[in-house]
Each structure stands twice: as C-alpha cells, then as structure tokens.
Structure 1
Amino acid sequence: MEQAELTALLTAQGLRMVDEVGPLASTTEVAAAVSRLRAAGHSPDLVSAVVGQAHLRVRAAAKFGPFADRMLFTRAGLEQATRLEVAARHAGRFRDAGAHRVADLGCGIGGDALGLAGIGLDVLAVDADETTAALAAYNLAPFGESVTVRHGRAEETDVDGWDAVWLDPARRTAGHSETSRTAPEDWSPSLDWAFDLAGRMPVGIKLGPGLDRDLIPDDVEAQWISVDGSTVELVLWSGSLRREGVRRSALVLRGGSAAELTAPGDTDDEPVRDLGAFVHEPEGAVIRARLIGEVARSLDAGMLGGGIAYLTSDTPLTNPFVQSFRVRETLPLKTGAIDAALRKADIGTLEIKKRGVDVDPAQFRRKLTLRGAASATLILTRMGEGRDAKRVAILADRV
C-alpha cells in the first residue's frame, strides 16, 4: 500500500466506503467494484485502497474470523499475521507466566497484540514499517489506552518496565505485498539480537517452522504449531515463559480442538516393523519437533521405513497427533500396476501422499486413469530399512 492510498483510506469517507463495498472474493468482483467506484468520480488512490481492503478482508476471515470485517491489512502483513486462535494461546502463556505488560516488537498489523489485549494485558506494539504501524493502530484502537502503538525498530525500543516481550523478526523483504523470504542473517531484528534479549528476560520469538534446528538455543522451549493440517510456525520461549522440563513441544489445533505433546528433548524413533492394517501420518508439528517416537510408543505403533515419517500398526487409532489410513493393498511403485488397481477398484477421486521417494505427485497423477465413482488415498513411500528398503505404493482409505 502506497502512502497516498493509506492517506485516502484513513478518512471517514474511505473507511465508510470499505464497509459499503462489502466483501470482494473474486477478481471479477474486484474489477466490477473498481469500475463502479471510478465511474462515481472517486480518486484512483481511494478506489485502489478501498477495493484492496475489501478483497483482503475476505482472505483474512480464515485467520481472524468475524474480526476481519473491521480490520485493515497489507498483503504482506496478512500473510505473516498469526491466526487469532493461535495468538490467543500465546497470550494465555504470557498471562499464566505472570506477565501483565507485554511489548510486541514487530507487531505487524496487530494480530498477536489483539490476543494479548483481548485477555486484559497492557501492550506496547511496535513496527518498523510506518504504513503497517498505522494499520495496527487502527486495528488495536478498540482497546483504548491499554494498547500503545509506535512506529520504530525493535532494537531501539526501551523495554524496561515491561514484563515480557513478544518478538516477530521480519523474515521477508521490504514491502506490503507477498514478498520473498530472506536468509536468517538478513532478518530484522537479527536472530543474534533476539536470542540475546531472550537470555535477559522472558521472550517469545515467532519463527518459520522450517528454521534450521542448529540455530535453536539450548535454554529455550521450542514449540511447533500445526493448524488444520498445516504447520504454521515455530515459537521459542525463554525465561518464565518456558515450561519446566520442556524443550520440545508440538501443539496441534484442528477443528476447534487442541492437543499438545511435550518432551525434555528430541525423542528416538521406534524400530521399523512390517506393514500392519493401518498407516499413520504424524502431524507436521510432531515431525518438526522430532516427537514421532513419542507418538509411536503411545499408540503401540512402529516406523514404516527407516527415516520415513510414517507409522504403522494393526489396530485402528483415534489420535490428534496422527491422520490414519486403513490399508487396502500394497503395490509396486509402478504406474501400470497402480493404474490397474485403481480401475479395478473403480476409483475416480485420489489423494496422493508421498514421503521418502523422488516422485512429483502432480506429474504422477497425470499418468493415472481416474474415472470411477469411488475415492481412496495413495501413499508413495519406502518400507523397511537399509538394503531391505523398497519403494511401494499403498492404496488406503482415510479413517
């Protein structure tokens, strides 16, 4: 968003027009709204800002629910914003640790600050980008004097007198649209600065779930979070925000329910065993936290293949940390054999999953004949370990 668009948007007319335009879900609706507003004599900056916000509010509903209807966004800010249900859980950890005043450094559009302020904490929200800080101020305005929003850099913010810090280092190049990710040494503030602060006071640091594990300090709790099947973030907790005896945790949120697995460190995998009646795929947060073995032991399951994040057992399971599949048959990983089995089973809708094999699922799908009325899941992977490992295709059904 350009400064001229922001200026036009943050007026009584601009904000009223966003509400009047309503949700714009498709490019066709966006184009029609632009034509209508321009024909009515509104300036290009105002039209661009209003239509852009109406479209972003539709996309934001997935993260903010009904709150999105009164918020303002940039594309990059929305992309990086924490989902409200996750932010609420982060806020609860600050409250449970005894924090009353939290500085949110790198607040973006204010997603995490919403969670903090929503449970009654005082918040200092700071962002280095002037436009983003202005939108955060608008989004957080309903909380009145309990929230202070500033334009500034995290490294230059005085946090004396604040009980704890929430820190979201910028991991993208500058700008307000979806942008390319940068290397850790280019993050703002740097990881070194963030880790130094975490060594001096209670800090939560939000990072991408794929962070190089060698960069994680020994004295923090590393918590990976999955939401509805997607691993969305890694948070490093220090000081009183870190739970006693916990260095690895996997939080799984799905369909409004929550489950968490914790451990004092990485856990060893269970031994590889023969394919049973079921295959189980651990949630991404469990895999990232290296707690697959912990899940396997709790389910009396074993590894399907050496170094492959699939489990197998002979009993059906209902467990929040895995998605389970009932095995129909095992096939060689060859297109002809698989295609014949799909035709025989009348399968026209096929979910393809893969681990441990160099196969592009999209290209593989194009080689198959899918014309039946039934549906199934095809798991492309390796079974066994070492020299005995073999590439297989497992035809299965979701449990």
Structure 2
Amino acid sequence: MALTSGDVDLDAFTELLTPRGRRALAEAGELTGADPVVAATTLRKTYDAGLTSAALTQAGLRQRARAKFGADAGRMFFTPHGLEQSTRAEVAEHRARRLLALHGGAPRVVDACCGIGGDLLALARAGCTVSAVDTDPLTVAVARANAEALGLADRVTVSVADAAEVRPENYDVLFADPARRTGRGRTFDPMAYSPPWPVVLGLISRAGLACLKVAPGLPYEFIPERAEAEWISYKGEVKEATLWTGQGGGRRATLLPGGHTLTAAGVRAPVGPPGRYVYEPDGAAIRAHLVGEVAELVGGRLLDPMIAYVTADAPATTPWAAGYEVEDVLPFSLKKLRAALRERQIGNVTIKKRGSAVDIERLRTDLRLSGPNSLVVILTRILDKPSVILCKDLSPARITESGHPYDNRDLSIQP
C-alpha cells in the first residue's frame, strides 16, 4: 500500500494535523502567490524542511482546489492525484440529492473507493451515513481529515481496505468511483480501473441501489444491462458519467448549474437542408445520444444523419444547445472560404468542427485573416459532403434559468 501521493507523504501529512503543523499551514497560506524561494526561506526560519515543504504544498493545493470546492477548499486537505480525480462539489451535491430522492430517505451508504472524500462529504452533508474505504493509507487519512474539518466526522467512517472486500448487501446504497489512473497516467480502459471492471460489476450486482461514477467516454458496451447512464455537463463541459442500478435503465443528460435534465424519448430527428439557424447540442446530450431530443426542442433537423449539428428555420432558446444564425453555406474549399472571409472583412474567427479532419490551427494560419469583424466558422459534413457554415452567435453566452453562462467550446466528434 502506497504511503505517498505526488508530493505528499503520510508522515508529513500527519504532522500537518498537529497544532504546530496547522500553524505552519496557516502561515504557508498567507504566503500563497509569493516567490517560492522567498516563501520557503520565510517558513524555514521557524519550521524544519519537511514541514515547510508539506505546508507549502498543501497551501498550493488548497488554492488550486477552490475551482472545485469553493470556500471549503480553505479548510480541506488534498493530495495532487486526489485533487485531480476528485468530483467537483456541484456535481457531487447533484448526485447526493438524486441518490436521496431515489432511495426515499437518508440511506446508509458504503463508498467503495472514496479517494480524498469529495463524494462522501456531499453524501454526508445530504444526511447519509457513510462508511468509506480506500486502499491507500494516505488517502484515507486525508478523507478522515476532510470529514473532521467540515464537521461531518459523526456521519463518516473511513478505513483502509480493498473495494473487493466491501459487502454492499449490508448497506442501502453502494457508491463507487474506481480510480482511472495507472503508473503510466490516466487510463480510458475500464479493465484497467482500480478496482477493475469485473470487480465493480460484482459489487453492484449485490447492491440494492448503486451509484457508479465513470469517465464520460465509457464505451456503451460496458454499461450494465438495466442501468441508467447519466452524463453530467458543468458550464458546457462534460465532466463525468454516472451509472445508476436498481431503479431501471435509460439514458439521461444533466446540465449544471441549473439542474436541467433531458431523458431519452426515442426521438429520431429528420435530416434536411441547412436552415437559417444552426444549433450545437450540449456535450452531455451528445454523449447520451439525445441529439434527436434536442432537435425536437428547437424544431429542427439534422444536417447529416451522423453529425450532431441541428438546423432550423426559426430561432429557439434552450439551455441544451448553442445557437448560431447562418450567413452562408459553402462546399469546403480553402480558396472560397478565404475569399468569403475577406469580403466580410473578418479578422477574428471562432472555428468549430465536427465530422471534419481539417487541422484548425493550420487553417487559421492559412486563412490570413484581416479586418474588424468576427464570425463563427463551422466545419462539418452536410449529407456526407465536406462543408463550411459561416454564422454569428445568437448571443454572447447561453444563460440558464439560474443565470449562469455556458461557454460555447468545441466538443468531441460524436455520431
């Protein structure tokens, strides 16, 4: 069992939890952003090299963690790998709320691979009693410290154990977030997860209700029969997928913040020529194969049966898609595209693509842009023909009912 994780080791972390260590960490926090040499020199006047290094590392991790954990990050503890793999607080809170709704109360949950505790903390805050395990003693120590720091220690127990030893039948709900890293870095192969996929399937088969966090790119063939797969997008970026077992199957996409949910209704979108508007479905809807449902929401049709762009003749407002007003549609040709942009005095373009092999950065250079105007250039296929759509964003940002903007970044090509 590992006693280190990145730049943190168990002995140094344990010292951080002592009164002296907490003083060092507080002083390190005040030095965040200072020159590293100056910060280290300042702390070394009072503390030894090991504690100085541990305090500065932890202060840096807390600063980075604010993007995921907000104000709580200032009280929490992290390891580099643990922070990277942890669930964003808003996503964990959504999952905890849904878990309680499915169960119908505050359940007893076993967390089979808890990491530094992002999900177990959300579950405990929602009212669950959580028993958690992890194979790494340092990670377990960090998760315990986080539960204590956030006042949740009375609802949480964390132990060093292998997920395969968990007995989900003794609990109301199984939660599992198998590690997706190996000694060579991140892995996209479920068989290389820790614990590996067969062990995970064995655990959920013995659970009445199970919630399994997986990578958003999990191949469909790995989704268990009768499991519901939910893809979660946060501010326009697909963060993860969740498999729910014990409550029926299906596909679902969720947008956060805002809590918009779209479920599969078997809609098959028609295919037709470009209209006045083009819509780019959110990545969660694309991953969940709900492009037909999005097309129905905007009263649209597909430009190509294998490409996730929707076109329509009238404008529509939905959090499920970014909208663009079409100015022109051209067969793909660098010469024609360059001429069209020159005619419009376009000096800045947002290039998006789906179903195109064109190198975006090389194209940007080859276009030789010049002028005061901006435009969106979409590279795609229309009825299997390479095409270019010139358009303008319908709005600077997509705004949900809660008032949060969603960016319009390009997403992975998905049929």
Name the CA distance, whole Å, in 1 between partners of 2:331 and 2:20.
Answer: 64
Residue 351 of structure 1 and its aligned partner are, at CA, apart by 1.6
Note the C-alpha offset of 1:87: 0.8
How far apart are residue 370 of structure 1 and its match?
Answer: 3.6
Give the 3 Å change call, closer, same or farther, for CA 165–313 of structure 1 in structure 2: same
**Displacement after TM superposition at 1:75 (Å):** 1.6
Which residue is 2:409 aligned to? none
Q: Which amino acid in the other structure matches residue 111 of structure 2?
A: D
Q: Secondary structure of 1:106's partner? A: coil
Aligned alpha-carbon RMSD (Å): 2.2
Identify which of 8, 12, 16 aligns with 1:5. 12
Q: Could you give the per-residue CA deviations for residues 253-281 of structure 1, whole angstroms, max 9, x where no partner exists?
A: 1xx312111126xx454222111111111
- Of 202, 211, 215, the residue aligned with 1:208 is 215
* Structure 2 residues without counterparts, runs of 5 or longer: 1-7, 395-415
Partner letter of residue 225 of structure 1?
I
Is the aligned partner of 1:261 residue 2:266? no
Q: 1:117, CA displacement in angstroms?
A: 0.8
Q: Which whole-Å deviations, capped at 9, do the CAs of 1:335-382 have from their partners, x for residues lacking one?
A: 333333333333333221100011222232222334433332211111
Q: What letter matches 2:52 in structure 1? A: V
**TM-score scaled by structure 1?**
0.89
Q: CA deviation at 1:30?
A: 4.0
The one-letter amino acid of 1:368's match is L
Residues 74 and 121 of structure 1: CA distance in aligned 2, closer, same or farther (over 3 Å): same
SS in structure 1 opposite 2:259?
Answer: strand
Measured after TM superposition, the shift of residue 317 of structure 1 is 1.5
Whether the 8 Å CA contact 1:382–1:390 is kept in 2: the answer is: yes
Does structure 1 residue 77 correspond to structure 2 residue 78?
no
Give the deviation of 1:190 after TM superposition. Answer: 2.1
Contact 1:23 1:55 in 2 (8 A): no
Does the residue aligned with 2:139 lie in a helix, a strand or coil? helix
Aligned residues, how many? 382
Distance 1:36-1:371 versus aligned 2 partners, 3 A rule: farther
Which whole-Å deviations, capped at 9, do the CAs of 1:205-259 have from their partners, x for residues lacking one?
10001111011112111111111111111111011xx3x5x51101111xx3121
Which residue among 15, 21, 24 is the counterpart of 2:28? Answer: 21
> What SS does the aligned partner of 1:237 have?
strand
Percentage of matched positions with identical amino acids:
41
In 2, the alpha carbon distance for the partners of 1:216 and 1:311 equals 27
1:310-340 deviations in Å (ceiling 9; x for gaps): 1100111111111111112223423333333
Change in CA separation of 1:350 and 1:50 when aligned onto 2, cut-off 3 Å = farther
Question: Which residue, out of 79, 93, 101, partners 2:98?
Answer: 93
Using the TM superposition, name which of 227-236 and 356-365 deviates more. Answer: 356-365
Equivalent residue for 1:300? 299
After TM superposition, give the deviation of residue 136 of structure 1 in Å. Answer: 0.7
Cα distance in 2, alignment partners of residues 111 and 303 from structure 1: 39
Q: Structure 1 residues 353 and 164, CA, compared in 2 at 3 Å: closer, same or farther?
A: same
- Residue 49 and residue 364 in structure 1: after superposition, are their counterparts in 2 closer, same or farther (change >3 A)? farther
1:148 aligns with 2:157: yes
In the TM superposition, residue 9 of structure 1 has moved relative to its aligned partner by: 2.6
| Aligned 8 A contact 1:220 1:236 in 2 | yes
Aligned to 1:218: 225
Counterpart secondary structure, 1:76:
helix
Match of 2:117 in 1: 110
**What letter matches 2:229 in structure 1?**
A
- Out of 24, 34, 43, the position equivalent to 2:40 is 34
The offset of 1:71, in angstroms, is 0.9
> Secondary structure of 2:154's partner?
helix
Q: 1:394 aligns with which of 389, 392, 412?
A: 389
Q: Which SS does the other structure have where 1:14 is aligned?
A: helix
Change (3 A) 1:277 1:372: same
Q: What TM-score comes out, normalization by structure 2 length?
A: 0.86
Amino acid across the alignment from 1:15: R
